[in-house]
Amino acid sequence: MARIELEGISHTYDPPSVPETQREYAVSNLDISWPDGSANALLGPSGCGKTTILNIISGLLQPTVGRVLVDGKDVTPLAPRERKIAQVFQFPVVYDSMNVFDNLAFPLRNQKVPEKAIGKKVRETAEILDLEDLLKARITRLNAADKQKISLGRSIIREDTAAVLLDEPLTVIDPKFKGGLRRKLREVQNRLKKTMVYVTHDQHEALTFADNVTIIKDGHLIQQGTPHELHSQPASPFIGYFIGSPGMNLLDCTLQDSALQFSDFHLPVSQEMKNKLGSAGNGLKFGIRPEVVDIATREQAGAVAFTVSVIEYTGAYRVLTCDRESSRIKARVSESIPVTEGDRIWVSFPEEKLNLFFNEKRIV
Amino acid sequence: MKNRGWLFVIPALAVLAISAFIPLMTVINYSLHYIFAGSTPTFVGFENYVEVLRDSAFLRALVRQLVFSMGILAVEVPLGICIALCLPKRGPGVAVCLVLLGIPLLIPFNVVGIIARVLTQSAVGVIPEFFALFNYSFNVAKDPVDAFMTIFLLDVWHWTPLVALLCYAGLQAIPDAYYQAARIDGASAWKTFRYVTLPKLRSVLIIGVLLRFMDSFKIYAEPLLLTGGGPGDATTFLSLHVARKAESYNLGYAGASSFIYLFIVIVFSYIFFQLMTHIGKGETK
């Protein structure tokens, strides 16, 4: 168990022969710190450099620039086994020719741990992962979820494991077993308090697993925070849209006099809000979560008229797509509000829930 | 017939009947008769089989054949795996290596036999000349060991590339994550080979072993061309022995020995297949 830090990490897959100015960096200038025993997620769209970062941490890849620190010690030049960082891969990696017991024992046997201690440790690990009944089972008989558990088991069985990296561990798991395995991962983290970094492009997985989520886009760190912080205070419109289902509503606007001026409506704002916006008048981006948009079926003061064009049912709530001449808003509303497609509704935006972005950065 | 799909199978079945079923039945029919070409066949039951199994020439050929085929497997399979592991995984070297490995496979059996004959001819061939440097008189026509080893090495040269190519294809199909996991688990190079590479090569190795066993069991052209099965009967393998009997018009004996021959190939292939599909599958020891 340990604190993991990345210091000024940049990596390019271009060979050194490519001149400095023309290199394409998969990740650049990353400074990330994960505290000891924390549950972390690395979230970003496909191809954003997540797996590169993971391989740099585990030591399968040497970063072009920067250092990897484990408990303050520079491990950049060390091989994967010397770093004591374990990894769970996207599809379950198990040793087909061994049974479950031998699979779990494999990392310990490689360390020449006495066979008696191995037996004890394997049973302990199997108990944590609910694999006790399968210890003697043939690997080929197991489903992908159990195989992934074994893969996780191999990574936590060594006492000296500094951190466990999980590379989209649920991607190939049957939906039937996904939920159970996700809870198991979380439970194992809670119980063992090992530093874990969960890499995924699925916000739901990231937000349910981690206490601390790092968002990466195009190889750059965009924001690091708790799931709640990311949801309520996204650092950029991208995060606002990326996190949440459906994503944040984003509209362009400008501040004129005491109102936000949109292409086809305007919204008066308080003096306080005006002060916060300060000099940033033009080129604002207005953001509001679909969950906090207020919907009324008759005209109200300060509300803006929209027409409901699409209603999506998701079970517990409905997502309304509401249009005006050139603006579109999505709203998440409960079943109890009586609307049908084509209805006219009045939408209001609670000021305390507004997000305003300027130059891709959050200012309010 | 309700399922008209059968109609489409008829041509294939017809070809199979003419090429395999009818000849096989003919052989079985021969094997149950006392029959010399030109004379009237007499039904003798299993007498031919008894004669074959008591014939020391047949038994010697069988033992020789088994020693040869097992030796071939013991050499060609590990060697093929080693070659496959040494081949480059990408880059321009791949094409060069594959072509070089492919060349022996393109040469027909009889040509291989003739090449061997030229190379080993006493007073003319390169090989006897080479051994002469070490004061060893290499002579395939006189020394049984020389003849046997020549056939053996010839087969290794001719067919190891097949095993290597199969393994190479198998290796390419192993995802990198397995090797990364083994590195993270701290596995040594040997353990990585033993627990990652070898199990993942299982299916291609099954094919490789079966092909090499069946093919080497049928070896015919090379010993025939090199020494005609000699010196003595040192390179008279099973197929050569059976063919000799058929050539001498002893069709009953030839039929019975052919059938025993076929039976042995099937039994051994089955044993290999069962062994290889079941060993090391992670069952409780």
Q: Among A190, A205, A232, where does a domain finish?
A: A232
**With a CB-CB cutoff of 8 Å, which residues 200-259 of chain B face chain A?**
200
The reply to whether A175 and A288 lie within a common domain is no
| CATH of residue A94 | 3.40.50.300
Q: What are the b/e assignments for A41-78, b being 16+ CB within 10 Å?
A: bbbbeeebbbbbbbbbbbbbbebbebebbbeeeebeee
Counting residues of chain A whose pLDDT is more than 90, the rounded percentage is 0
**Nearest residue to B225 via CA among B123, B102, B107:** B107
pLDDT value at residue A131: 85
The reply to whether A27 and A141 lie within a common domain is yes
Does some domain include residue A34?
Answer: yes
The CA distance from A27 to A50, in Å, is 8
Split into its structural domains, chain A has a count of 2
Query: Cβ–Cβ of B282/A139 closer than 8 Å?
Result: yes
Q: CA quadruple A2, A3, A9, A11: dihedral positive or negative?
A: positive
Does some domain include residue A74?
Answer: yes
Domains and CATH numbers, chain B: 26-278 (1.10.3720.10)
Stretch A89-99: mean pLDDT: 87
The reply to whether A66 and A186 lie within a common domain is yes
Range of the domain at A206: 4-16+23-232
Residues in A closer than 8 angstroms to B185, CB to CB, are 81, 106-107, 110, 154
The reply to whether A291 and A188 lie within a common domain is no
Q: Among A232, A257, A277, where does a domain finish?
A: A232
Q: Read off φ and ψ for residue A187, nearest 5 degrees.
A: -65, -45
Does some domain include residue A239?
Answer: no
pLDDT value at residue B1: 55
The CA distance from B31 to B2, in Å, is 39
The CA distance from A88 to A302, in Å, is 53
* Omega prior to A80 cis, within 30 of 0: no
Q: β-strand A39-43 against A195-200: which pairing, if any?
A: parallel
pLDDT at A80 over 90: no
The CA distance from A60 to A223, in Å, is 26
Stretch A203-226: mean pLDDT: 86
Non-local (6+) Cβ contacts of A361 within 8 A are: A235, A236
pLDDT value at residue B280: 58
Give the largest CA-CA distance in chain A: 78
The reply to whether A228 and A253 lie within a common domain is no
Smallest CA–CA distance, residue A104 to chain B, in Å, is 10
Determine contact, residues B61/B240, Cβ cutoff 8 Å.
Answer: yes
Residues of chain B with pLDDT under 70: 1-2, 37, 279-285
Q: Among A204, A232, A260, where does a domain finish?
A: A232
* Omega prior to B231 cis, within 30 of 0: yes
Report yes or no: A98 at the B interface, CB cutoff 8 Å: yes
Two tokens, residue B264: 């042995």
pLDDT value at residue B159: 93
Does some domain include residue A238?
Answer: no
pLDDT value at residue B281: 58
Does some domain include residue A241?
Answer: no
pLDDT value at residue B283: 43
The reply to whether A343 and A266 lie within a common domain is yes
Residues in A closer than 8 angstroms to B177, CB to CB, are 89-91, 93
pLDDT value at residue A49: 84
For residue range A351-362, what is the model confidence (pLDDT) as tens digits?
Answer: 888 888 887 788
Query: Cβ–Cβ of B188/A110 closer than 8 Å?
Result: yes
Report yes or no: B280 at the A interface, CB cutoff 8 Å: yes
Does some domain include residue A203?
Answer: yes
Report yes or no: B71 at the A interface, CB cutoff 8 Å: no
Counting residues of chain A whose pLDDT is more than 70, the rounded percentage is 99
| CATH of residue A297 | 2.40.50.140
> Across the interface, which of B185, B195, B284 has its CB nearest the CB of A136?
B284
Report yes or no: B183 at the A interface, CB cutoff 8 Å: yes
Query: Cβ–Cβ of A107/B186 closer than 8 Å?
Result: yes
Does some domain include residue A140?
Answer: yes
Smallest CA–CA distance, residue A6 to chain B, in Å, is 19
> Across the interface, which of A86, A111, A138 has its CB nearest the CB of B282?
A138
For residue range A257-286, what is the model confidence (pLDDT) as tens digits?
Answer: 788 888 888 888 888 887 877 776 778 888
The reply to whether A226 and A255 lie within a common domain is no
Two tokens, residue B29: 């029919």
Sequential DSSP letters for A38-64: -EEEEE--TTSSHHHHHHHHHTSS--S
The reply to whether A291 and A224 lie within a common domain is no
pLDDT value at residue A1: 60
Query: Cβ–Cβ of A91/B175 closer than 8 Å?
Result: yes
Query: Which stretches does DSSP call E strand in A13-144?
Result: 25-34, 39-43, 65-70, 73-74, 85-88
The reply to whether A271 and A174 lie within a common domain is no
The CA distance from A131 to A148, in Å, is 11
Report yes or no: B176 at the A interface, CB cutoff 8 Å: no
pLDDT value at residue A292: 87
The reply to whether A192 and A62 lie within a common domain is yes
Smallest CA–CA distance, residue A172 to chain B, in Å, is 14
The reply to whether A286 and A212 lie within a common domain is no
If you average pLDDT over every residue of chain A, what do you get? 85
